[in-house]
Amino acid sequence: MTVFTASTTAPVNIATLKYWGKRDKTLNLPTNSSISVTLAQEDLRTLTSVATSEEFSKDNLWLNGVEEGIKGERTIACLKDLRRLRKELEEQDSSLPKLSEWGLHIVSENNFPTAAGLASSAAGFAALVVAIAKLYKLPQSMSEISKIARKGSGSACRSLFGGYVAWEMGDLENGEDSKAVEVAPLEHWPTMKAAILVVSDDKKDTPSTTGMQSTVATSDLFQWRIKEVVPKRFEQMKKSIAERDFQTFGELTMKDSNSFHAVCLDSYPPIFYLNDTSKKIIKLIHKLNEQEGKIIAAYTFDAGPNAVIYYEEENVTKVLGLIHKYFHQVPGWEKIADKVNGFEDSTIEFDTDAYKGVSRIILTKIGSGPQETTQSLVNEKGLPK
Amino acid sequence: MTVFTASTTAPVNIATLKYWGKRDKTLNLPTNSSISVTLAQEDLRTLTSVATSEEFSKDNLWLNGVEEGIKGERTIACLKDLRRLRKELEEQDSSLPKLSEWGLHIVSENNFPTAAGLASSAAGFAALVVAIAKLYKLPQSMSEISKIARKGSGSACRSLFGGYVAWEMGDLENGEDSKAVEVAPLEHWPTMKAAILVVSDDKKDTPSTTGMQSTVATSDLFQWRIKEVVPKRFEQMKKSIAERDFQTFGELTMKDSNSFHAVCLDSYPPIFYLNDTSKKIIKLIHKLNEQEGKIIAAYTFDAGPNAVIYYEEENVTKVLGLIHKYFHQVPGWEKIADKVNGFEDSTIEFDTDAYKGVSRIILTKIGSGPQETTQSLVNEKGLPK
């Protein structure tokens, strides 16, 4: 039995200009363009191996060691698109094995706990699509492939690049111009760091797809956000990245996070993702920036209470010094335990109980896009190891 | 010694279409029109007595038993306007005593704890201005007098009327057309009730004047709110009051509260008035309305975490039944203890710990405007009793 396999890793990305609102739910076409920073895969990544063989009668998926099967419409849509592209190759060159007709085995694993509430679907769909594109030896560019990942999970398209990434919303109804592009590679501005404060929450958040639909349908302020606020910010943020201007980048990042949560609150019924702990972290970062007289740290919050704090390496002792002072009790500092003594002792006053609302900290940084890997999650029979 | 005295009471009002943003800070001219419901004075009112005499060399103010003196610029501005109107009368009729030239003693008391965080400044300035207008026997209408109260505290102008009140923002730079008017008297729709949940908070809120200035200066979404959202809502809400249409009135009230808090969150740095308890109450009210299949209760939140829940008398057992079930531990139910057994036993599931974030409940209803009163807080010498 001949089994063809391929493996890839794919990163998590955290938007600094938020995607919120679909103009087409099936195709995952957004109501506005967005921008993200790709995070380092040593801390957060999905590893996906795929296998195909003439002997495989059907598709199957194993996620974090559990056989899930292919259930989701979105996964099916991605597989369909990838097979179509493979088929084009096979039609051009009849010597190619007919992989497009065979079953696919997909085995996927995250190196971080799903329970952390970090959007793992972006990394997951990016890895799935890239692994199969590799398996199929598709000649398309990453931007082209990103359109397929987009159908899996909108923000997944941004995980096809490292560094600073834009998802251009596009105009076309069929979504063929709604794709990810590189704003700047990792090497352009490699000093970007991120601290993720995983905030505990007792309530279940509104799923982002449901939330987006509600905002689009009910928020009066949303129309202004997508028509006027985001388009300007999109250009300004790209410029701030081009100029490595953290002042502007940080301010836009914080403002856009607030704007996104504002239109959630303006939805009917209102949607709340920030909790009291999130708000405390926001205030802490503003206090730090005020004390410094400039923006050295910028928060952003996705559809949940977790805080992602971007900062530049040169300010690590100030930023992590402050966070460590008030959150040293939570796990996640082990990684840099030897550096903690070098932190500045912040004079900023803060709620000494705030750490109780945080379950862990993840210290990471900007990272690269999907990577080739010799690691494989499938054995020679194309089954999970 | 001849001492002239007058006394009045004035009510608290809670906006259903929010005032947020000043176009002129000195004159308290708003960036949008607003609407409120006046609350019953048996539960929440300020009683103010004023006295004047040729013997009084200076103005003085006693607030809740404490001699405060006249310090605030806003109080001084009100007194100046009232004296000017009195002076016009004195110039027309030289037989009138020259009250405009004498010192004023102002003695004021609330029947509710200031600590509750309920906006007492509206009732306070309304009572002060109306009491002096009475003392001076000013012929001006309540709308005219409301322009003076407005200079004391913007929302105070709405406390000059009972029932349903609009504050028309006006266009003029001098503010002469920015005044309160009656949308409908209490008798038009007398069945409106209100339950106030006083929410405990460990942080100090951003003062509303500071907050408004920040929102006007920094929120991108705010411009849309004042230009497009509020003007439409203003007409719709007046219509809903004219038609006693609680469905529409309630929905607009909730949406406008959310919109106001959304532009606070969109300010930079963001302003948060709602806390986790406020959010739980919001969700509880939406659950109730969903279960009923129509809006029978509507929340609104001012610049703080306290919830005001409007409902109609016919739904008292459903609305208070639900609130009592989950908040019976907090004080404030004594008043209707004999009716509690008649409450419906709600089947709605809710956080049984939420009551811990609430310090008291105030059960009240729509009420009338400033009232003549035989009660006086001053003695025959014009000093506090």
Which range, of A25-34, A41-50, A135-144, A344-353, averages the lowest pLDDT?
A: A344-353
Phi, psi of A8 (to 5 degrees): -150, 160
- Span B320-367, pLDDT tens digits: 999 999 999 999 999 888 888 888 888 999 999 999 999 999 999 999
Mean pLDDT of A333-342: 86
Q: Region A132-158: what's the mean pLDDT? A: 98
Q: What is the DSSP string of A52-68?
A: EETT--S-EEEETTEE-
**Biggest alpha carbon–alpha carbon distance for chain B:** 70
β-bridge mates for residue A167, sequence order: A34, A180
- In order of A286, B2, B89, B134, B136, the CA distances from B52 in angstroms are 50, 9, 16, 12, 10
Domain boundaries, chain A: 3-185, 192-365
Three-state helix/strand/coil letters over B304-354? CCCEEEEEEHHHHHHHHHHHHHHHCCCCCCHHHCCCHHHCCCCCCCCCCCH
Residue type, B236: Q
Average pLDDT for B114-125: 78
How far is B10 from B128, CA to CA, in rounded Å? 9
What confidence tier does B76 reach under pLDDT thresholds 50, 70, 90? Answer: very high
Q: What is the pLDDT of residue B60?
A: 97
How far is the C-alpha of A205 from the C-alpha of A305, rounded, in Å? Answer: 9
Unique residue bearing structure tokens 């006046």: B38
Summarize pLDDT for B255-279 with one digit per residue, the tens. 999 999 999 999 999 999 999 999 9
Question: In this predicted structure, what is the pLDDT of residue B256?
Answer: 98
B266 to A270: CB separation less than 8 angstroms, yes or no: no
Is any Cβ of chain B less than 8 angstroms from the Cβ of A279?
yes
Q: What is the pLDDT of residue A113?
A: 74
Tell me the shortest Cα–Cα distance from A224 to chain B, in angstroms.
Answer: 7
Average of pLDDT values for A331-351?
88
Other CB atoms closer than 10 Å to residue B126's CB: what's the count? 37
- Contact at CB, B258 and A272, closer than 8 angstroms: no
Orientation of helix B120-135 relative to helix B73-92, angle to 10° = 20
Q: What's the CATH number for A192-365?
A: 3.30.70.890
pLDDT greater than 90 at residue A57: yes
Q: Is the pLDDT of residue A115 over 60?
A: no
Is the CB of A225 less than 8 angstroms away from the CB of B225? no
- A157 close to A150: Cβ distance less than 8 angstroms: yes
CATH code of the domain made up of B3-185: 3.30.230.10
A156-197 per-position pLDDT tens digit = 999 999 999 999 999 999 999 999 999 999 999 999 999 999
Q: How many residues does chain B have?
A: 385
Res. A338 pLDDT band, cuts 50 70 90: confident
Residue A300 sits at the chain B interface (C-beta within 8 Å): no
Predicted pLDDT at A201: 75
Residue A8 scores a pLDDT above 60: yes
Query: How sure is the predictor about A374, in pLDDT bands with cuts at 50, 70 and 90?
Result: very high
Query: Which of A229-243, A330-344, B349-363 has the least mean pLDDT?
Result: A330-344
pTM of the model: 0.95
Task: Give A53→chain B minimum CA distance, Å.
Answer: 52
Measured between its terminal Cα atoms, the distance across chain A in Å is 17
Contact of A276 with chain B, judged by CB distance below 8 Å, is answered with yes
Cα separation, A233 vs A340, in Å, equals 36
**What pLDDT is attached to residue B116?**
58
Confidence at residue A342, expressed as pLDDT on a 0 to 100 scale: 82
Pairwise CB contact (< 8 Å): B265 & A258: yes
pLDDT for the residue B53: 97
Taken in order A15, A19, A24, A25, the sign of the CA dihedral is positive
In chain B, pLDDT over 90 holds for what percent of residues? Answer: 91
E strand or H helix at B290, and its extent? helix B276-292
Does residue A237 carry a pLDDT above 70? yes
A207 touches chain B (CB under 8 A): no
**Residue of B93, B81, B85, B163 lying closest to B125 (CA atoms):** B81
Residue A197's pLDDT is 96
Q: What is the pLDDT of residues B185-213, one digit of tens each?
A: 999 999 999 999 999 876 777 888 999 99
The answer, for B230 touching chain A at a CB cutoff of 8 Å, is no
Structure tokens at B27: 């004159």
